[in-house]
Amino acid sequence: MSGLISALIGRTVTVEAIVTNEPPTSYLGQKKIRYDISCISKNKEPIDVEMSFHPIEDELNRLEYFASRLFVGQDIQGIDKTYADLKGTYQISILAQKLFFPDKNLTHTFEFYDPQTHVSLDGKIRIITLELEKSVVFIDKPIEEMTTTERWAAYFQYLTDEAKREKINEIIDREEGIAMATNALCQVSAEYEAYALQTSLMKGELDWRSSMKDAKCEGLTQGRNEASLDIARKMKNAGRPLSEITEFTGLSMETITQL
């Protein structure tokens, strides 16, 4: 993971701790559409790396929101701390299935700046995107000619593609970080793990609400109702309170009781 983060940020980053942000399987927002991990660099910089298998329409607004939350989530309380103690934060999003930017650049890095003069605020928040769909341009390049970022993108995009199995195996053999990724040891303090889980649960809830809004806007009333019933059924089987199920799905108590 350090190799991927270093390539995207543009400097060598040593990851000190990693935690997978996977909400409980009984949780409403657990739809297996994202893989999310929070990291802390050796310099104590908060880094969130998220792979979105099915990005939502409001994905870019979503990224800005959670990048901001990552930044303000830092602890600068206490008489010995000031704003100068805030560390740089990085919200990294690996986007699949959909293109968000019309150019051919595989990655983009966003920060605060004046759009008229292009003067940077020199702030500490960075949003970095990696669009997997653009890997089609370089997937047939020899492995040794690919950049580190291109190898990771190809790995994510074509991991389950049998036609590219040989190429993916070459990438795994060539890129040590990729070979180690699935065996990474996740160790973080209890305090940071609790914060990461809280963030993940919030993301799940907002993602679900956004997807429901998208469905409504597209006129998919029937699909929305079926999704609500399916979610309610799973929540009920998981023993969640009827009041909570009603709040999240919008279904009536009577409907939920009859499931």
More confident residue, 173 or 139: 139
Which of 48, 56, 36 lies closest to 207 in space, CA to CA? 56
Residue 98, Cα to own-chain centre: how many angstroms? 15
Residues paired with 36 in a beta bridge? 50
Kindly report, residue by residue over 39-82, the tens digit of the pLDDT: 888 888 999 988 887 888 889 999 999 999 999 989 888 888 99
Q: Distance (Å, rounded) from C-alpha 157 to C-alpha 68?
A: 28
Site of tokens 């009536």: 252
Q: Distance (Å, rounded) from C-alpha 113 to C-alpha 102?
A: 21
The H or E element that residue 199 is part of is helix 190-217
Q: Distance (Å, rounded) from C-alpha 17 to C-alpha 184?
A: 10
pLDDT at 147 over 70: yes
Q: Distance (Å, rounded) from C-alpha 30 to C-alpha 40?
A: 24
User: Can you say whether residue 27 is alpha, beta or left, with left for phi > 0 and alpha for psi between -120 and 50 degrees?
Assistant: beta
Q: Distance (Å, rounded) from C-alpha 107 to C-alpha 23?
A: 28
Tell me the whole-structure pTM to 2 decimals. 0.67
Going by pLDDT thresholds of 50, 70 and 90, the confidence category of residue 103 is very high
Q: What is the pLDDT of residue 186?
A: 37
Query: Could you tell me the two tokens for 217?
Result: 């806007």
Max mean pLDDT among 2-16, 49-63, 130-144 falls in 130-144
Q: Do the bridges between strand 125-131 and strand 89-95 make them parallel or antiparallel, or are there none, so unpaired?
A: parallel
Which of 39, 2, 4 lies closest to 18 in space, CA to CA? 39
Percent helix, strand, coil in the chain, to 5, is 45, 15, 35
